[in-house]
């Protein structure tokens, strides 16, 4: 086929056929499996080395504490898909493992969850291209979200596996009758991992709908999933009552009207551009390359979608968070960009430039770059954890063990957020022995604890306070029954 460049010259580009032999497909599958084994092996190693940085940090410290306290899973804001990773510390405490064992198991569990889904995609669904997408979802943009964990990366990983299953059912019959309840359950689970997973799905559905190479069966399957996702959205936001967290997100959406037409001049926009240059430049390179390739070969609909989809999504994240939140939190919201960039690259761009059995090569380069970036990012979180350990030693030397500390007395540029400090200090101090558990809390308004600080057997925290008798004695046995003091050093 002849293509015409902007200067009017007819050229015949050397493009590889989208068709490939069974031998090429088998080689691509094998290389993808090997790349996945290497990638998840490396991530497991990093999760083991930096398990304390990951598990004694904010949400994971909070959730881990309550799993140990109640012996139950801790599902927040209805995001029940998180049970897939919370089951690891739950099982560890049920088996009587030490605090170190529980935290290490929790850290490894997040990687094992992704590795299991990767194995299902490769071994059960035989969808090696979606295997590559999964590896990119876990490494293309992930930097600080390897340490600060949430339901978003879990949801995107699950979504990729769900779409791989959809692609594996491209026969005239599509899904079997008995599979339809599983499809409905999988869509509900994906949707309830995190609301922004819906945007990642919407991009993928639109991309394959406008892709001329996509079969009619594939488009029909995506239409089915779109109806189910739309039903989930309707039920969640128009029928069922919203919890406080989702209500807060809706309140932030008012910023679109309030800040118009100054959407470009926001702190969040400037922060994002800076992070693109320092951390997410590989994502930017692949994004630009996708658009250039699709435009050059006049695949206008896909080029427009590949350009506008990520840009519109960035605005949807940045405008409500115009004030500029910490990078780790914003990165978590940006993670759907990974799948929005990976899908055109793996399904359209690379197959046109490389033979099937070599598609894994550029993906492996991006994956290795991501692993290195993740490993280097530990310094922020190791420094934070080291400061908390140093502060534990510092406060113990003055002859008292229970302290209330004001934020202006600590380096908040290192601590970043203080709301999880009570749980973080409790876990870090209890690693050696349950009797070494310490009670310290850092707060922006320490005086609000005035009426509680004299109670001798009370664990103070940001949201709720717990009598010592409610703490799991196997892991936390604070020995200091004196009153809390205000830190004044």
Whether the predicted pLDDT of 469 surpasses 50 = yes
CA 53 to chain centre: 16
- On whether the CB atoms of residues 170 and 130 are closer than 8 A, the answer is no
- Conformational region of residue 416, where left means phi above 0, alpha means psi within -120 to 50, and beta covers everything else: left
Range list of β-strands (E), 288-365: none
Asked whether residue 410 falls in the same domain as residue 302, the answer is: no
- Number of Cβ within a 10 Å radius of residue 94: 11
* Residue 2's pLDDT band (cuts 50, 70, 90): very low
Q: What are the C-alpha distances in Å from 317 to residues 268, 274, 292, 328? A: 9, 16, 25, 14
Domain stops at, among 309, 341, 376: 376
**Owning domain of residue 325:** 25-376
Q: Is residue 6 part of a domain?
A: no
Distance between CA atoms of 199 and 205, rounded to whole angstroms?
10
Q: To which residue do tokens 């969040």 refer?
A: 268
Triad 69, 443, 447: Cα angle to 5°:
110
Kindly tell me if the per-residue pLDDT of 15 is higher than 70: no
Average pLDDT over residues 276-305: 97
Domain boundary among 343, 376, 409: 376
Same domain as 159, residue 134: yes
Indicate whether 67 and 162 sit together in one domain: yes
Structurally, the chain folds into a number of domains equal to 2
Q: Look at residues 147, 161, 238 and name the one whose alpha carbon lies nearest to residue 193.
A: 161
In a shared domain, residues 462 and 422: yes
The pLDDT tens digits for 153-175 are 999 999 999 999 999 988 766 78
What per-residue confidence (pLDDT) applies to 252? 87
Tokens at 280, concatenated: 């997410």
Tell me what the mean pLDDT of segment 472-489 comes to.
Answer: 94
How far is Cα 161 from Cα 187, in angstroms, rounded to an integer?
11
Q: Classify residue 190: in a domain, yes or no.
A: yes
Q: Which of 376, 397, 417 is the last residue of a domain?
A: 376
Query: What pLDDT does residue 168 have?
Result: 94
Find tokens 């991992």 and name the residue: 193
Q: Give the tens place of pLDDT for each residue, 331-381.
A: 999 999 999 999 999 999 999 999 999 999 999 999 999 999 999 999 999
Q: For tokens 């739309």, what's the residue?
A: 230
406/369 same-domain check: no
d(CA 237, CA 319): 20
Confidence of residue 3 (pLDDT cuts 50, 70, 90): very low
Q: Say whether both 371 and 384 belong to one domain.
A: no
Burial of 44 per CB tally in 10 Å (0-12, 13-18, 19+): middle
Give the orientation angle of helix 58-70 with respect to helix 421-430, to 10 degrees: 70
The per-type count for the chain, helices as H runs and strands as E runs, is 22, 7
Same domain, 352 and 399: no
| Assigned domain for 10 exists | no
Q: What is the DSSP annotation of 429-487? A: HHSS-GGG--EEEEES-GGGGTTTTT-TTEE--SS--EEGGGS-TTT------S--EE-
The answer to whether 16 touches 352, Cβ cutoff 8 Å, is: yes
Whether omega for the bond prior to residue 193 falls within 30 degrees of 0, making it cis, is no
C-beta of residue 135 within 8 angstroms of C-beta of residue 160: no
Mean pLDDT estimate for the chain: 94
Q: What HEC string does 140-209 produce?
A: CCCCHHHCCCCHHHHHHHHHHHHHHHHHHCCCCCCCCHHHHHHHHHHHHHHHHHCCCHHHHHHHHHHHHH
Question: Helix, strand or coil for residue 309?
Answer: helix
204-240 pLDDT, tens digit per residue, is: 999 999 999 999 999 999 999 999 999 999 999 999 9
Instruction: Classify residue 17: in a domain, yes or no.
Output: no
Is the sign of the CA dihedral 234, 240, 244, 245 positive or negative?
negative
Edge to edge, the sheet with strand 485-486 lists 439-443, 402-406, 485-486
Would you place residue 131 in the very low, low, confident or very high pLDDT band (cuts 50, 70, 90)?
A: very high
Cα(188)–Cα(228) distance, integer angstroms: 8
Same domain, 105 and 242: yes
14 within a domain of the structure (yes/no): no
Q: Are residues 419 and 307 in the same domain?
A: no
**398 and 282: one domain?**
no
CB pairs under 8 A, 24+ apart, for 257-265?
A: 259/319, 259/322, 263/315, 263/318, 263/319
Nearest to 318 by CA among 393, 264, 377: 264
- Are the beta carbons of 388 and 29 closer than 8 angstroms? no
Q: What percent of the chain has pLDDT over 70?
A: 96
In a domain, 224, yes or no: yes
Instruction: Examine residue 4 and state whether it is found in any structural domain, yes or no.
Output: no
DSSP 447-460: GGGTTTTT-TTEE-
- In the predicted model, is pLDDT for residue 9 greater than 50? no
Asked whether residue 108 falls in the same domain as residue 145, the answer is yes
Quote the pLDDT of residue 84. 97
In this structure, of 47-61, 200-214, 241-255, 375-389, the range with the lowest mean pLDDT score is 241-255
Phi, psi of 406 (to 5 degrees): -85, 150
Asked if pLDDT for residue 267 goes beyond 80, the answer is: yes
Task: Tell me whether residue 186 is in a domain.
Answer: yes
Q: Do residues 341 and 402 both lie within one domain?
A: no
Q: What does the pLDDT read at residue 20?
A: 66
pLDDT of residue 118: 98
Distance CA 3, CA 11 (A): 6
pLDDT in tens, 63-115: 999 999 999 999 988 999 999 999 999 999 999 999 999 999 999 999 999 99
């Amino acid at each position: 086929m002849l293509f015409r460049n902007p200067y009017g010259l007819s050229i015949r580009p050397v493009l590889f056929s989208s068709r490939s032999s069974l031998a090429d497909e088998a080689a691509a599958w094998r290389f993808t499996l090997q790349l996945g084994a290497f990638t998840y092996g490396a991530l497991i190693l990093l999760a083991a080395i930096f398990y304390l940085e990951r598990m004694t940090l904010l949400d994971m410290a909070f959730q881990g504490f309550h799993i140990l306290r109640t012996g139950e899973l801790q599902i927040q804001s209805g995001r029940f898909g998180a049970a897939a990773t919370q089951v690891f510390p739950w099982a560890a405490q049920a088996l009587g493992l030490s605090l170190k064992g529980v935290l290490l198991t929790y850290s490894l569990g997040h990687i094992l969850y992704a590795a299991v889904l990767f194995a299902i995609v490769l071994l059960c669904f035989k969808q090696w291209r979606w295997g590559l997408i999964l590896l990119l979802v876990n490494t293309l943009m992930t930097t600080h979200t390897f340490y600060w964990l949430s339901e978003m990366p879990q949801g995107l990983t699950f979504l990729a596996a769900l779409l791989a299953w959809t692609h594996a059912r491209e026969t005239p019959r599509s899904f079997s009758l008995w599979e339809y309840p599983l499809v409905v359950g999988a869509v509900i689970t994906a949707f309830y991992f995190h609301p922004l997973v819906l945007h990642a799905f919407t991009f993928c559905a639109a991309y394959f709908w406008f892709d001329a190479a996509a079969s009619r069966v594939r488009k029909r399957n995506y239409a089915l999933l779109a109806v189910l996702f739309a039903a989930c959205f309707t039920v969640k936001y128009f029928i069922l009552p919203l919890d406080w967290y989702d209500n807060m997100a809706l309140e932030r959406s008012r910023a679109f009207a309030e800040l118009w037409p100054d959407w470009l001049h926001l702190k969040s926009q400037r922060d994002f551009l800076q992070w693109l240059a320092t951390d997410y430049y590989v994502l930017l390179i692949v994004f630009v390359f996708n658009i250039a390739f699709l435009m050059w070969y006049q695949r206008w609909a896909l080029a427009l979608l590949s350009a506008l989809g990520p840009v519109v999504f960035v605005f949807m994240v940045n405008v409500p968070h115009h004030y500029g939140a910490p990078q780790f939190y914003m990165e978590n919201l940006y993670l759907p960009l990974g799948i929005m960039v990976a899908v055109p690259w793996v399904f359209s761009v690379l197959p046109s430039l490389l033979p099937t059995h070599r598609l894994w090569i550029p993906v492996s380069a991006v994956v290795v770059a991501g692993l290195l970036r993740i490993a280097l990012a530990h310094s922020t979180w190791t420094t934070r954890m080291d400061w908390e350990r140093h502060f534990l030693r510092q406060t113990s030397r003055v002859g008292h063990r229970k302290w209330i500390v004001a934020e202006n007395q600590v380096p908040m540029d290192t601590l970043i957020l203080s709301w999880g400090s009570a749980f973080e200090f409790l876990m870090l101090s209890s690693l050696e022995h349950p009797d070494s558990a310490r009670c310290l809390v850092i707060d922006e308004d320490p005086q609000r604890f005035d009426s509680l600080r004299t109670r001798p057997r009370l664990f103070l925290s940001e949201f709720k306070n717990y009598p010592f008798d409610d703490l799991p004695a196997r892991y936390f046995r604070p020995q200091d029954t004196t009153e809390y003091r205000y830190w004044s050093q």
